Amino acid sequence: MLYRVTKSIASILFHSYIRLTVIGHGNIPRSGGVILAPNHISYLDPILLGIAVKREVYSMAKDELFKNTISRFFMTNLNAFPVRRGRIDRHTLKRSLEVLNQGNVLTVFPEGTISLHGNIMEGKPGVAWLAFNANVPVVPVKILGSNKLLPDGKAFPRMGRARVVFGVPIPFDFIGAMHKENRNTLARMIMDEIQRL
């Protein structure tokens, strides 16, 4: 309930304050589990994706955001769950598989962190591991302009434009046997597709 209300309010505010263009929304499967794999250039990115996608979206967020009671309440009700960065977080992997196996949309930033310079960075193999184990497609996503709307160090976004482009889904069959080199291959494939969009 809180998710839908918050999304409606955010949509109204963003479309009046920020001109958001969405391209390729039809590439997102209408049902079933799917991973959205976007580049990450601003703290606005999860919000923009939540607005751009018609289906309900789940996402990971750094565990520091869940230490405050009020912040934890809103993050949880906005379908976010904590992840401890810089290590293998088995609890988060389990939760991610549950989300996907229940037929939901999960956002996973393959770079693992925000690119402060705005350039595409190397992708981590975790997306491939999730796609293989949940047997779901990966939709590459390119976000443009959000780093100019909310530059690093700023608390409030500026007026401006942003664009979210959804690419053609990559089926998990492309991953092949689940060896490390195959996970790295898919990670490179995803980042190449993001760069191309």
pLDDT at 164: 96
Find the mean pLDDT for residues 8-23. 80
Domain residue ranges in the chain = 2-196
pTM value surpassing 0.85: yes
- Is residue 140 within 8 A of residue 187, CB to CB? The reply is no
Q: Is the pLDDT of residue 143 over 90?
A: yes
Average pLDDT for 15-34: 90
pLDDT in the model for residue 181: 63
For the domain made up of 2-196, the CATH class stated in words is alpha beta
Residue type, 88: I
Separation of alpha carbons 130 and 96, rounded Å: 8
More confident residue, 92 or 141: 141
pLDDT at 140: 96
175: pLDDT strictly greater than 70: no
* pLDDT recorded at residue 177: 45
Say which residue, 174 or 100, is predicted with more confidence.
100
Average pLDDT of the segment spanning 147-164:
80
Phi-psi region of 23 (alpha: psi -120 to 50; beta: other; left: phi over 0): beta
pLDDT at 179: 58
- Of residues 37 and 179, more confidence is placed in 37
Question: What is the tens place of the pLDDT at every residue in 70-104?
Answer: 777 777 777 888 787 666 678 888 999 999 999 99
Dist. CA 35–CA 143, nearest whole Å: 15
> What pLDDT, on the 0 to 100 scale, is given for residue 1?
63
Mean pLDDT computed over every residue of the chain: 84
- What is the 3-class SS of the chain, one letter each residue? CHHHHHHHHHHHHHHHHEEEEEECHHHCCCCCCEEEEECCCCCCHHHHHHHHCCCCEEEEEEHHHHCCHHHHHHHHHCCEEEECCCCCCHHHHHHHHHHHHCCCEEECCCCCCCCCCCCCCCCCCHHHHHHHHHCCCEEEEEEECHHHHCCCCCCCCCCEEEEEEECCCECHHHHCCCCHHHHHHHHHHHHHHHHHC
